[in-house]
Chain A
């Protein structure tokens, strides 16, 4: 492995289009990516890739896109997205993606905030979202449509098609791209990523060319397998997210990973099945969803097959526990279970060839992670933020790491926990390659990026030293493991200072220690501001409890409530796919989401799921009551309490479902006290 510091420094002086040119000269005929089109995976070599980028660059230049101007791209991950993106970058323009699920109001906000001169829409659906404001946005000059198949009868003067863009670029080649790329200042802005704010408007994090490449390189150093062998992966995460960009654009340039684009996002299961990726980066939601479909499938299969699966899972659990404790495990017995059951199981999903499955973007519930590991997938979790410019803050490594931590920092990156009163335990990161600042918001930039160079993540963490007892599945009855009673349980206490012993036996090691300390790993506790303090004064981490609940295949989303309240309650969104399967299997009649959500049988099902999770929680952490949301949360709808990445906006959620929330709390006591006090406060 090359020296990290020199590699970072070298990349800091480049931009992505330049890396593309270099790669196209070095291995012109190697496959850079494959994009499915009309049933066939079109192979693009590095030379073709660079040629297409050159054409899109010249086309964009012909539309008048200049240095420092912004271009917004809206759509699912597709070939043209990255061609437009790199084309614009090679002109020195700044690109930003808009979430495909963003509502019209969010689109308008980001168009105004970013001030894009060109809006690229994947198809007619996104054109409709912008067209309403098209004339009200003074800076918007052109709207470019990639897939114009539904664009008849549209004749807005700003509209152009992607094909026309290409014609404008006619035969631009590698030399032209190189000339453009060399003229780009690596310290200038490359792209903006809008962070999905769970409170307030999204903030646009500006990232420069060099910083992004050097930051993303830390992933390649952290997961050297990416550069050692050729790998197949599937690019499906939204490219406007920095994680999606890393996977589809930057990591392929820095490693030997070949991304595959499916025909459409809806076909993801099919795309995964066909491509059979060897490396997959994902967000926890997909792993939960796939796993719950598998479990529902197993529950509905024949007795013989189910028995085989259950036997294999028992073997897998014992094997995994041994592996986590640093032993060899069950070796041939587990290998047989894997061959006979887990490999065919994973083959149906297209995931049996995975060497590395990395989840990031949100906390991965330990139960889910353990389940994938039982199936024999080398699953690990990483932790990063948009503000780290495409690099990771920490990541688990090796083979089958124990769930519960997010691993250690990559070479050259410093991570520590804050010691101050206000933000005790907050994770701080330092590297030369962080984001540049929030677009048009220097105040927020100062708040996040302190004078001392440490980036404030807003997340609370603690250090754990392996072998730590972090994995929930290792100790607790999860919903897939046999139910056993564990007295005592474990309270997810917020960090209370250094050296203090935690209830379940691991010590929070001091954040800055000597060089010969045992390897320490970071464990995420929660967002700084998300802690719940109950009226009894207990500080609880809602995300910990929520993850436990979300591990149920029937729960799509859950929000735990309890701030300033007597006890915890939860709002639950059922997973329509799995619950409707469940209902069909039991002849429960329903007409749609709402009727299913209100069905008493379904209520009992969720009650059982919550009771199961409660069994693994300390008394104060237990969810005492819950309500099922009568409708599915849809990020595309105006004013919905979820972000485009489906993160719950807590305050808005409580506001929207106030009646449901209040109905879970008993107000007799307050009324009694109010009656006792009478109108003494109002009497003059």
Chain B
């Protein structure tokens, strides 16, 4: 349920309470934003379009991790492993059985859900660092199995996956991919927003707050934790499936531990406990290396630093993460909310008469 920030909105039916967008201003902004997203691929150049596609694909995984870590409060370092699980399920089904898109996608989701269930079990007993280590096991197991498959079947350089075809039409063009990924990201965001205001989502927030209190309130802590793992892993595996088709190539090298770190960074930099934060974090983390490169070029150091470009990138990335943790624990979404509040509260700092009688 959202709270109108401008005066003159009162609700006469519960249906209005359920609406994701209630005020005219919000609807207008949402429409404008949607229109901008739809027009974007026709205005953007090839690089900008590719970046957008990466962001949209990344957003699916980031939102999935946000549900688990940002809302339910469960740490997971198995994210790259789950992406790999989705990607390999797709790759193997395609390679071995020539399975089409509409089989590989649900199959990936199922594998993800099963892995989520299995690797969510330790969370019932373990917390914090220990849970992180147990989820790390998931990463290595999946990567090991993937590597085994590659070598045993002789695809040691990776599995090639053909673009998905729908009724003879092949999804190949970057612009077409943009719309598919946009749809996937939008569906993930809407699904998550709705889930979060359902009983399940509220239970997740409650166990994040304090398990004992949540339990005392009648919430089944076990069920909430497992459902968080299952839903998050399923979405992540779907992202892995899309990744496989988008890249047209599946290989264990793409799913290093650094990928997990990147997703965790998206969640932290974006701002814990916010879907918007997950999206903003994705934009930031994906664009950041390009920004560093651009900086090096602008400074005329591109030549000298060419050899160490990755090292510069990694260290800059690490530095930014530390800075965020220290100075802006609320992440990008905290910055956004402050900017928004500055305008929304104009000409006040806080709302006058709030909480007075």
Contact = CB atoms under 8 A, between A and B. Distances in A.
Interface of A: 34, 36, 39-43, 260, 266, 268-269, 272-276, 290, 293-294, 296-298, 300-302, 305-306, 308-309, 341, 344-345, 347-353, 577
A504 B333 CA distance: 59
A527 B8 CA distance: 39
B340 interface: no
30 contacts: A39-B11, A39-B17, A41-B11, A260-B10, A269-B353, A269-B354, A272-B7, A274-B7, A274-B8, A274-B9, A290-B352, A297-B348, A297-B349, A297-B352, A298-B347, A298-B348, A300-B349, A301-B349, A305-B347, A305-B348, A306-B347, A309-B347, A344-B347, A345-B347, A348-B7, A348-B353, A349-B7, A350-B8, A352-B7, A353-B7
B350 A42 contact: no
B169 interface: no
Contacts of B13: 40
A161 to B, nearest CB: 26
Contacts of A348: 7, 345, 348, 351-353
B12 interface: yes
B12 A43 contact: yes
A296 B352 contact: yes
Interface in B1-36: 4, 6-14, 17
Contact of A301 (B10, B17, B347): B347
B356 interface: yes
A273 B352 CA distance: 11
Q: How large is the interface on B (under 10, 10 to 19, 20 to 34, 35 or more residues)?
A: 20 to 34
A274 B347 contact: no
Contacts of A577: 356
Interface of B: 4, 6-14, 17, 345-354, 356-357
A309 B347 CA distance: 7
Contacts of A266: 357
Contact of B352 (A39, A41, A260, A293): A293
A547 B69 CA distance: 58
A34 B10 contact: yes
Main DSSP-derived SS at the B contact region: loop
Contacts of B10: 34, 36, 41, 260, 274-275
Contacts of A40: 11-14, 17
Contacts of A273: 7
B8 A275 contact: yes
Given A34-B12, A275-B10, A269 B356 contact: yes
B304 to A, nearest CB: 43
Contacts of A290: 352-353
B214 to A, nearest CB: 24
Given A266-B357, A269-B354, A577-B356, A344 B346 contact: yes
Contacts of A308: 347
Contacts of A347: 6-7
Given A39-B17, A301-B347, A305-B346, A294 B7 contact: no
A306 B9 CA distance: 28
Contacts of B14: 40
Contacts of B345: 348
Contacts of A275: 8, 10
Contacts of B353: 269, 290, 293, 348-349
A393 to B, nearest CB: 31
Contacts of B356: 269, 293, 577
Contacts of B8: 274-276, 350, 353
A349 B345 CA distance: 11
A276 B347 contact: no
The 3 A-B residue pairs whose C-beta atoms are closest, nearest first, are A276-B8, A350-B7, A297-B352
B7 A276 contact: yes
A678 B352 CA distance: 61
Given A42-B12, A305-B349, 18 more contacts: A36-B10, A40-B12, A41-B12, A260-B10, A269-B353, A274-B7, A274-B8, A274-B10, A275-B8, A276-B8, A290-B352, A293-B353, A296-B352, A301-B347, A301-B348, A305-B348, A347-B7, A353-B7
A294 B346 CA distance: 12
Contacts of B6: 347
Contacts of B4: 274
Contacts of B12: 34, 40-43
A46 B9 CA distance: 22
Contacts of A294: 348, 352
A424 to B, nearest CB: 42
- Residue in A302, A305, A348 whose Cβ sees the most chain B Cβ within 10 Å: A348
Nearest to B6: A347
A300 B347 CA distance: 10
A520 B280 CA distance: 65
Contacts of B346: 305, 344
Nearest to B1: A39
B98 to A, nearest CB: 55
A294 B8 CA distance: 19
Nearest to B349: A301
B265 to A, nearest CB: 32
A351 B351 CA distance: 14
A294 B347 CA distance: 10
A104 to B, nearest CB: 22
Contacts of B351: 348
A556 to B, nearest CB: 13
Nearest to B9: A274
Contacts of B350: 297, 300
A372 to B, nearest CB: 14
